[in-house]
Structure formats: C-alpha cells, structure tokens
C-alpha cells in the first residue's frame, strides 16, 4: 500500500468485538500474526450456528496472546470489566446482528443489539479512557444513492432497519469523538467474502444450493450488482485504520468493481463443477440494485489498495467451502 499519511506502529493490544464472526476472526488472526495482543469478545449470537463461530476462532484461541470473553455487549457491567482488564486503548467494534433482509421483521433485536450495544461499547470506552474506535459500518447505508458511492453522500435514506442502525452508530461515533475525544473511523464494508463467509450471504447460500443440486431463488433478473471485496483486503483496511488515527472519518472499504448476481452464479458453477437450478422471482424491495464503492478516500487516507480480484477470491472461497463440506 502507498503510505501518504504518517503511519503509527500497531498498538501492543486491542479489543475486537464480534471476534468469532467471519470478519472478526480474520482480523483477530492477522493482529496476532502482527504481534498484537487481542482481547476478543463474542456472545456466539444464534443468528447462525455457534459451531461455525467456534470453528472460526479455533486457531486464534490456541494463541498465547489471545484472551477471550464470551459476553453479550448488551451486558454493560461485563463489557466494562472486560475493557478495564484489557489494558488496551483501541477497539475494533464488529459485533452486530448482520443481515439486511432479516432485519425487516426483527427491528427490536437489531435496534437493541446494533445500536444500544454500540452505546455500551462507547460508554465502556469512555469510562476506561480509551482513545481509538474503528467500526464495522456498511455500504447498505447508501440505499439508492447514485453510484459510485462516495462518503460525502447524505446516506440518510436507508432501505432496511439494519442499515438505519449502522448509520445511527456512525453518527453516535461522531458524538463521542466530538464530546470525549475518542478517535473514530467508520469503515463501510462492501460485500466482504472469502473463507468462513457467513452462511446467510448470497455467495455462500448459492454455493450450498448448487453443491446439493437444489433450486436457488434469484430476486429480479440477476442484473443486480455487488462490489465483492475479499476478506484480506478488508482486513488490510482495518489494520491501516488503527495505524492512522483520525478524529472522525467515514471510509469506504470496497473493491470498486461490481459483479452481477448472474456472473457470481456463473463463477460458482464453474468452480463447483455443477449447474445451478435458477428460479427467478420479482425484485425484493429491501434489496439494493447496486453497491459500488468509490475508494479514492481510502487510497488517500489509508494507502488502501484492494489486491484480490473476484475470480481469485471465488477460487479461494470454493476451496474452503469444499473442505468444510467434504464427506467425513
Ligand atoms: N460481511 C459483510 O459483507 C459486511 C458488510 C458490511 C458490514 N458488515 C459488518 O461487519 C461486522 C462483522 O460482520 P460479519 O459478516 O463478520 O458477521 P458475523 O455475524 O460473522 O460476525 C458478527 C459477530 O458478532 C457477534 N455478536 C453478535 N451480537 C453480539 C453481542 N450482542 N455481543 C457480543 N457479540 C455479538 C456474533 O456472534 C458474531 O460472531 C458486523 O458489524 C457487520 O454488520 C459486514
């Protein structure tokens, strides 16, 4: 990566919330490799099976520089105690209930977990005088904004409750930066994918359906586009964010290269060696037509440069998928 802005050494220790998740577990492993002590927090939220999350974190758990707290970020006291004992000043906050579509019928849970949970994280940081916050924000906040999505778009018309909670958390981050001097960088992820991908995400769900020769449902005509961003590129952007603290910034972490749903299914068919049984339904109103990141700000502020093209990323994802689904 280019480094246009002074780069600080990595801190000795950090907190990662949501560490057993897809992105959190990759980030945790990278931090451990870089010699950073990680205080990992997760409650194994039942959104998808605990066994998958335990598998995500299994190798990190064996590392001597990892401390794991199984706790719910809605439990203020437990959260404060974990923060107090961490000796860290930096928090990567990735714990959340993900899933844009499922948020439509479960607004209470998304509001309490994503928003109130984030309030608790900030309050614990404030009490423990921590100084740096990096947030797992989302491209979904752009809704129907014109593409490519730029960080200066108003992003004030989210299409799903999930996106509304993520946007509210970004605003809260500004408040804590302004009032309490907590440096806050909100990194908006664009369709992260790779090994350990969440089972509810289209690439993984479709891989399962193709592999088991079941019908897969496509909402719309397959022309919807997503800016797939490989997990190691997302992790590069997160690491760069703690090395360049800003008082408050929102930064897109995308690939800036869109792939249609149809092309995604074609790529899976090719790698899995099977044909998809495609069933088309009318478009879903909670789906965005396109996500497409302008990443010029990430390049300028973070020296960010995505490296893994979609074809290679799908190859690595399918390699992992076949391993996990191999007959025993
Ligand atoms: N995957 C993507 O493409 C994407 C895109 C945009 C934003 N994000 C955001 O990035 C973050 C990580 O996403 P992911 O795809 O790795 O999801 P994930 O579900 O795999 O990881 C989230 C983790 O948070 C944990 N968690 C949930 N509620 C918790 C609670 N109350 N207390 C403690 N831990 C809790 C879960 O158990 C899970 O392990 C989330 O905040 C998500 O909203 C992800």
Token pair of 194 as six digits: 């790779």
Residue-level pLDDT at 177: 98
Mutate to test the pocket of ligand 1, among 25, 44, 45, 288 (most ligand atoms within 8 A of CB): 45
What is residue 81's three-state secondary structure?
A: helix
Cβ–ligand 1 distance for 98 under 6 Å, the answer yes
Residue-level pLDDT at 1: 52
Nearest partner of 167 among 80, 250, 259, judged by Cα? 250
Cβ–ligand 1 distance for 38 under 6 Å, the answer no
> Which residue's CA is minimally distant from atom 10 of ligand 1?
136
Mutate to test the pocket of ligand 1, among 94, 114, 194 (most ligand atoms within 8 A of CB): 94
Q: What is the pLDDT along the chain (328 residues), one digit of tens a residue?
A: 555 578 999 999 999 999 999 999 999 999 999 999 999 999 999 999 999 999 999 999 999 999 999 999 999 999 999 999 999 999 999 999 999 999 999 999 999 999 999 999 999 999 999 999 999 999 999 999 999 999 999 999 999 999 999 999 999 999 999 999 999 999 999 999 999 999 999 999 999 999 999 999 999 999 999 999 999 999 999 999 999 999 999 999 999 999 999 999 999 999 999 999 999 999 998 899 999 999 999 999 999 999 999 999 999 999 999 999 988 7
Token pair of 127 as six digits: 């009490």
**Is residue 227 within 8 Å of residue 292, measured between CB atoms?**
yes
Residue-level pLDDT at 206: 98
Mutate to test the pocket of ligand 1, among 15, 22, 172, 173 (most ligand atoms within 8 A of CB): 22
Beta strands in the chain (DSSP E): 13-17, 37-42, 66-70, 90-93, 132-138, 183-189, 192-193, 215-219, 225-226, 229-230, 248-253, 259-260, 277-281
Cβ–ligand 1 distance for 93 under 6 Å, the answer no
pLDDT (tens digit per residue) in 309-328? 999 999 999 999 999 998 87
> Which residue's CA is minimally distant from atom 6 of ligand 1?
138
pTM assigned to the model: 0.98
Report residue 20 CA to chain centroid gap. 12
What is residue 150's three-state secondary structure?
A: coil
187 CA distance to ligand 1 middle (Å): 14
Cβ–ligand 1 distance for 113 under 6 Å, the answer yes
Q: Which domains, and CATH codes, for the chain? A: 13-190+230-255+293-307 (3.40.50.720)
Cβ–ligand 1 distance for 72 under 6 Å, the answer yes
The chain-wide mean pLDDT, for the chain, equals 96
pLDDT (tens digit per residue) in 26-60? 999 999 999 999 999 999 999 999 999 999 999 99
């Amino acid at each position: 990566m280019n480094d246009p802005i002074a780069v600080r050494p990595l801190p000795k220790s950090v907190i990662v919330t949501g560490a057993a998740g897809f992105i959190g577990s990759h980030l945790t492993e990278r931090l451990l490799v870089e010699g950073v002590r990680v205080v990992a927090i997760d409650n194994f939220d039942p959104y998808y099976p605990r066994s998958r999350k335990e598998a995500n974190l299994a190798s990190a758990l064996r590392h001597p520089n990892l401390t794991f707290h199984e706790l719910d970020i809605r439990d203020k006291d437990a959260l404060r105690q974990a923060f107090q004992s961490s000796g860290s000043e930096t928090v990567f906050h990735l714990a959340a209930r993900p899933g844009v579509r499922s948020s439509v019928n479960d607004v209470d849970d998304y509001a309490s977990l994503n928003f109130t949970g984030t309030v608790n994280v900030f309050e614990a940081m404030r009490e423990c005088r921590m100084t740096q916050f990096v947030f797992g924000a989302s491209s979904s906040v752009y809704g129907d904004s014109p593409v490519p999505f730029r960080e200066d778009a108003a992003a004030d018309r989210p299409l799903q409750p999930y996106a509304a909670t993520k946007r509210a958390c970004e605003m809260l981050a500004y408040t804590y930066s302004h009032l309490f001097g907590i440096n806050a960088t909100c990194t908006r992820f664009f369709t992260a994918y790779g090994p350990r991908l969440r089972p509810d995400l289209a690439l993984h769900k479709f891989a399962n359906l193709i592999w088991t020769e079941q019908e897969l449902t496509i909402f719309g005509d397959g022309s919807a586009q997503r800016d797939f961003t490989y997990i190691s590129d997302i992790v590069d952007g997160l690491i760069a964010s703690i090395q360049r603290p800003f008082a408050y910034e929102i930064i897109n972490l995308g690939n800036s290269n869109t792939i249609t749903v149809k092309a995604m299914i074609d790529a899976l068919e090719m790698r899995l060696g099977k044909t998809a049984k495609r069933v088309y339904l009318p478009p879903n109103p909670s789906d965005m037509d396109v996500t497409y990141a302008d990443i010029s700000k990430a390049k300028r502020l973070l020296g960010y440069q995505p490296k893994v093209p979609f074809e290679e990323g799908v190859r690595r994802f399918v390699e992992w998928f076949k391993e996990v689904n191999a007959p025993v």
